Amino acid sequence: MTGDEALPPGTQQIDAGAARRQRRRLAASEQAPWLHQEVAARMLDRLPVIRLQPTAVLQSRPSTGGGDEGLRQHYPQATQLWLEPEDDVRALLAQRLRRGFMQSVMDRLRGSAPPELVAEPPPGAAQLAWSNMELHAEADKPALVRRWHAGLAVEGCLMFSCLGPDSFIELRPIYAREGWGMPAPDWVDMHDLGDLLVHAGFADPVMDQEHLRLTWGSPADLLRDLRALGGNLAPDRMRGLRTKGWRERLMRALESLRGPDGRLSLSIELVYGHAFKPQPKVKVAATTEVSLDQMRAMVRGAGKH
């Protein structure tokens, strides 16, 4: 692709190898990162605006998100499908499910079945697709969004969240001044993400954003919490092993984040979105072929109006 050609919506430079390693680390943990759990709670608070009672929920990369328990509480009778396309990460999730076997038995006794782990979403199987804090760290965003679309039934709903462009912006001048490359990729803004949804076949995307200011008492606390989120996915980040001297230099540089209240602070921009999978459109031509499944879907849709 040349510089004169238009890039697809949602295009972003992400180190795909680093993203895979990050997903493995997160899947090996019993809990999603602290920030992801907080965002999952905020997404769950938004669920009442979606007037669906799904029989199946597609959770995209649940090791990242941390919303499984809340989704089960909202939809106790729904089948939970855990979508994880990568074999090694899926194996880690399978181990987690085996470790939680007795809890799964108790869930079944209460009417909640254990999740089904899938590499690809069964076509049209779910009425709700859920992705929490995943999309910003995906190298091939169009492919991921197409997976969501394929797994949704007609008139099913997608809900997702991810980081926006203002996340960690205070680190950029520090890293530029020290010659350390980029501290994070250039996150995609919500308008381009909305275009990405439409490009993949979704309808009526609604996008929203929220800004958080997180504070810490010391550089060590800040670094500990950032490390728990996974790592730097920027392709032009500084490479190589870090020395003790580099860490000390970083700790001193982070002191510039200290505000009038005496605490270090960083900005987080959260992007929320939801959209629906519309009835399929049939292209009109001199001769138009319509499959029986398409015809049934259109007839069902017409009968609801």
Q: Where are the domains of the chain?
A: 16-165+185-214+271-302
Give Cα 72 distance to the centre of its chain: 18
**Rounded CA gap, 8 and 293, in Å?**
30
pLDDT band at 9 (very low <50, low <70, confident <90, very high): low
Question: What gap in Å lies between CA 134 and CA 149, rounded to an integer?
Answer: 16
Q: Which fold has domain 16-165+185-214+271-302?
A: Rossmann fold (3.40.50)
CA-CA distances (angstroms) from residue 126 to 53, 55, 200, 225, 268? 11, 7, 17, 34, 31
Q: Is the pLDDT of residue 38 over 60?
A: yes
Q: What is the pLDDT of residues 76-110, one digit of tens each?
A: 999 999 999 999 999 988 888 887 654 554 555 45
Global pTM value: 0.84
Query: Hey, is 179 helix, strand or coil?
Result: coil
Angle at 140 between CA 125 and CA 199, to 5 degrees: 65
**3 vs 15 pLDDT, higher one:** 15
DSSP states along 16-40: HHHHHHHHHHHHHSSS--HHHHHHH
Mean pLDDT of 245-270: 94
**pLDDT cut 90: percent of the chain above it:** 58
CB atoms within 10 A of CB 15: 19
| Sign for the pseudo-dihedral over CA of 248, 250, 256, 262 | negative
- Nearest alpha-carbon partner for 52 in 153, 129, 177, 157: 157
